[in-house]
Amino acid sequence: MTQVFDVERVLAQLTLEEKASLTSGSDFWHTQGVERAGVPAVMVTDGPHGLRKQAEDADHLGLGNSVPATCFPTAAALGSSWDVELVTRVGEALGRETRANDVAVLLGPGVNIKRTPLCGRNFEYVSEDPVVAGELGTAIVRGIQSQGVGTSLKHFAANNQESDRMRVSAEVDERTLREIYLPAFERVVTGAQPWTVMCAYNKVNGTYASENHWLLTEILRDEWAFEGLVVSDWGAVHDRVPALAAGLDLQMPAAGPRPDEEVVAAVRDGSLDEAVLDVAARRVLHLVARSLPGVEADDSFDVDAHHELAREAAAAGSVLLKNDGGLLPLTSAESVAVIGEFARTPRYQGAGSSQVNPTRLDAPLDALRATGGAFPFAAGFTIAGGPAGDDQALLTDAVAVARDARTVVAFLGLPGPDESEGYDRPRLGLPDNQVATLRAIAEVNPRVVVVLANGSAVSVTDWRDLAPAILETWLGGQAGGSAVADLLLGVRTPSGRLTETIPHRIEDTPAFGNFPGEAGVVRYGEGVLVGYRWYDTRAMDVAYPFGHGLSYTTFGYSDVAATADGTDVAVTATITNTGSVAGAEVVQVYVRDPEASVLRPTRELKAFAKVTLEPGESREVSFTLGARDLSYWHPGLHRWVVEGGEFVIEVGASSRDLRGSVSVDVEGEPLWGELTVMSTIEEWFAHPVGGPLLQSALVPPADMGPLDETMQAMILQMPAKVIADFGLVGFDREALDALVAKAAAG
C-alpha cells in the first residue's frame, strides 16, 4: 500500500516545474504524480448518479465504454424524493462503488438551478429552488464522502444552459446571484465541505468562472470557508496563470506542456507570486493524500443491494401528477394493456458525461409481467418518430390492444437526443407521434394511465385531459422499470413531489425572451423570479405547481403554528395520514414578506420534511427558521437584510396547496443607509437623525401655501441636492453639506 505522504514535507522538496505540473491533470482522468517525491496520480471520474470509469478511450461525452456500475436515478428523479435520508444512503452506495473502483473523486453532484425547462442538462440538476437543491446536494455529498472518497460540487456557477456553454456570459445581478444561483452551492460547501468544487465553463458577468476571483476566492473561500480544491470543468481553463491567481487549483484534463511552462515563466518574471502556486499545489497534494486510503483499499460492493436501493429511490422520486377516480393503483384482477416503446426500451438516464454503463437494466414491461399478469403490449410509436406509415401501423395495433383491455398504461417520454449535455432541448412538449397514439387509444379506452420518462418538465396541457392518471418517473436509473411496476401495482405508494413547476407553455416560463441569449451574452432578466417564484408572484396558471405530488393515501394538516423570537421563527404543524394505506407526505414551509422595500417573490420555500405515516397516524413536525430565511440580499448595502414587520409563514403540500398560514411579527434591522446630497427627500425623512434635521431646515417661504398631494409626492422623490440647487431660503448647498456631516456624526 502506498504510504500516505506528508504534504508539507513533499511540497518543500518540489521544484518550481513540479509544482506547476501538479496544477493540471496527467491525462483525461488522473492528477499528475511526482514519482521522485512518492506522490502517485489519482483518478477522478463522472458522476453524478453513477460511476463512469472509462478503462480506455477516454472522453467526457459519454462515448467510450466504462466499467459496469449502478445507474441510480438521475438528480431530477432522486431530487423529487425530497428525502434527505434516502439521498444520503444513495450517496453512501455511490461512495462505495467509487472506492471499490479505486477512484478518488466522483464528479458530482450538480446543483445548478433549473432556470428554464429547456436546459439540456436539467436531468443532472436537482431543482428550480435553492433550498431543495442545497439540502439534497448536501445529503449526497455527505453520503459519498462518508466512504472516504471525494465529490465535486458542480458547475460553479450560473451554468444554467448548455447553448454556447463554453463561452456565454451569464449576466446576473448581484441580488439574483446571492438569492437564487449561489445558495445551493453555499449550503453544500458550508454543510458538507465537498473535497472539490468544479468551476463552470461559462463566464459570469463577463469573466470566465475559471478566472473569476470574486467567485473562486472572495465568495467560495473568504465567505464560505471552502477548504477543498477547485477543479476546472473539462476544458474550462483558457489561461492557467490568471486562473491560478483567481483561485483555481487544478486544470482538467491534461493540457500539454505549454500551460505549465507559462506558470513557471510567470513565477520567474514575478507576474505570479510563487506563494499562489504553492497554495494550489498544496491543495492537489492534500487531495491525493486524503484519497489514498480509500483508493488503495481492497473492497467491493454489493451489486444486488445497490440495484434494490436504486429501485427504492426511483419509486420515491416518481411523482403522481393526477389520479382521477383513484384509477391507480391497478388491481390484480383487471386486464391491463401496456402501450409505448418506452415500456420495453426504457429511457433511464440522459446523454453526455454522466452516462453510466448499468450493472443491469429493468424494463417496465418485464417487471410488470414478472408479477404474473399477461400485460399485452403494443409499441404504439417509434421513439425516433419513424416514417409516418410505420408509426400509423404501430398506432393501429396499439388501438386494437387498448380496446380489449380494461385499463391501458401508456409509457410516453422524450426521445434520448432531446436531453443531453452540450445543447439544449428543442421543445417543451412530447413528440407528435406519441400524442397521436395517446389520442387514438383514449378514444377506445378512457381508462388511460400515462407514465412519463423525461429528465425535465414536459408540457402536458394539450393532452392531460385524455388520461385520468399521470405518473412522472423522470429518468429513473437502471431499476426504474421495476420501481414503476411497484408503483402501478400499489406495492409502493408514490411519494415524490415536483422540484420544478410544470408550466403550460414555454412562453409562460421565466427565462422566455432571455434564453439562450444572443451575441455571447445571456441576460437573467427575470431576476429572482425563477421557477415558482415567477409563477406565484405573477399569479399565473400552471399545469402542476412546484411541490405537487399525490399519493395513494391523503394527508391532513392541523395545528399549524409559528412564533417569532427576534429573527428566529419556530414553526410546527401536525400531519395525519387520513387515508387507508401507509404513505409519505412532504411538508413544505414557505415564507412571505408582504411589505418590503424591494420586490420579493410571493413565497419562498425555506424548509421541508418528508414524513412517513401509517393510516390514521399523526406526527408533529417542527422547523426553526433563522434570520437568513427571512432576509433578502440588499443590492445597495451588499449584504443580507431582514426588514422587520409582518412575515407570513405558510405550511402546505405545494406552493399552491397551502394548508395553514400564520403571521408573525419579526424584529428587523433599521434600513437607513448613509445620507448623501443625492439621497432623496424621502430617504432623508426615513432617517432617524437626518429626518428631523431636514424637517427643521426646510422652512417654506411665508407666502407659500400648503403643498398639494401631487407636489408632495414629486418632492419626496427628488434628491436633496436638487432642492438645495433650487435655492429655497435658508436651504442651499452649504446648508445641505452641513446636514450631511451632522447626520453622519449621528
The torsion angles phi and psi of 539, rounded to 5 degrees, stand at 50, 45
Question: Does 319 sit near ligand BGC (CB under 6 A)?
Answer: no
Handedness of CA 680, 683, 685, 687 (dihedral sign): negative
Q: C-alpha grid cell for residue 356?
A: 453510466
Taking the complex as a whole, the smallest distance from the CB of residue 154 to ligand BGC amounts, in Å, to 5
Question: Does 154 sit near ligand BGC (CB under 6 A)?
Answer: yes
* Nearer to ligand BGC among residue 52 and residue 606 (C-beta): 52
DSSP conformation class of 728? B
Question: Does 162 sit near ligand BGC (CB under 6 A)?
Answer: no
Length of the chain: 746
Question: How many whole angstroms separate alpha carbon 454 and alpha carbon 142?
Answer: 27
Taking the complex as a whole, the smallest distance from the CB of residue 121 to ligand BGC amounts, in Å, to 8
Task: Map the footprint of ligand BGC across residues 80-119, applying CB under 6 A.
Answer: 107
Question: Does 687 sit near ligand BGC (CB under 6 A)?
Answer: no
The torsion angles phi and psi of 658, rounded to 5 degrees, stand at -95, 130
Give the interface size with ligand BGC as a residue count (CB under 6 A): 8
* Nearer to ligand BGC among residue 106 and residue 666 (C-beta): 106
CA dihedral 194, 195, 196, 197 (to 10 degrees): 20
* Nearer to ligand BGC among residue 200 and residue 649 (C-beta): 200
Taking the complex as a whole, the smallest distance from the CB of residue 24 to ligand BGC amounts, in Å, to 14
Question: Does 60 sit near ligand BGC (CB under 6 A)?
Answer: yes
Taking the complex as a whole, the smallest distance from the CB of residue 51 to ligand BGC amounts, in Å, to 12
Question: Does 30 sit near ligand BGC (CB under 6 A)?
Answer: no
Residue in 46, 233, 362, 486 annotated catalytic: 233
* Nearer to ligand BGC among residue 151 and residue 509 (C-beta): 151
3-state secondary structure of 496: coil
Question: Does 419 sit near ligand BGC (CB under 6 A)?
Answer: no
Taking the complex as a whole, the smallest distance from the CB of residue 79 to ligand BGC amounts, in Å, to 17
HEC letters along 312-337 = HHHHHCCEEEEEHHHCCCCCCCCCEE
Given 47, 95, 455, 583, the residue binding ligand BGC (CB under 6 A): 47
Question: Does 509 sit near ligand BGC (CB under 6 A)?
Answer: no
233 in active site: yes
* Nearer to ligand BGC among residue 354 and residue 577 (C-beta): 354
Given 323, 353, 437, 501, the residue binding ligand BGC (CB under 6 A): 353
Question: Does 53 sit near ligand BGC (CB under 6 A)?
Answer: no
Instruction: Give strand pairing partners of 472.
Output: 319, 452
HSE-CB at 412 with a 13 A cutoff on CA atoms is: 28
Taking the complex as a whole, the smallest distance from the CB of residue 489 to ligand BGC amounts, in Å, to 36
> Is there a contact between 95 and 147 (Cβ–Cβ < 8 Å)?
yes
Taking the complex as a whole, the smallest distance from the CB of residue 74 to ligand BGC amounts, in Å, to 13
Question: Does 49 sit near ligand BGC (CB under 6 A)?
Answer: no
Instruction: Give strand pairing partners of 44.
Output: 105
Question: Does 234 sit near ligand BGC (CB under 6 A)?
Answer: yes
Instruction: Give strand pairing partners of 657.
Output: 654
> Is there a contact between 477 and 306 (Cβ–Cβ < 8 Å)?
no
Rg of the chain's alpha carbons, rounded to an integer? 29
* Nearer to ligand BGC among residue 353 and residue 478 (C-beta): 353
User: Which residues touch 153 (CB under 8 Å, ≥6 apart)?
Assistant: 109, 111, 137, 141, 185, 188, 189, 194, 196, 197, 198
DSSP 390-431: HHHHHHHHHHHHHHHSSEEEEEEE--GGGSBTTB--S-SSPP
Residue nearest to ligand BGC (CB): 60
Question: Does 603 sit near ligand BGC (CB under 6 A)?
Answer: no
* Nearer to ligand BGC among residue 95 and residue 510 (C-beta): 95
Question: How many whole angstroms separate alpha carbon 89 and alpha carbon 420?
Answer: 27
* Nearer to ligand BGC among residue 166 and residue 598 (C-beta): 166
Question: How many whole angstroms separate alpha carbon 286 and alpha carbon 276?
Answer: 15
Taking the complex as a whole, the smallest distance from the CB of residue 99 to ligand BGC amounts, in Å, to 18
Q: Enumerate the active-site residues.
A: 233
Interacting residues with ligand BGC (CB under 6 A) = 46-47, 60, 107, 154, 233-234, 353
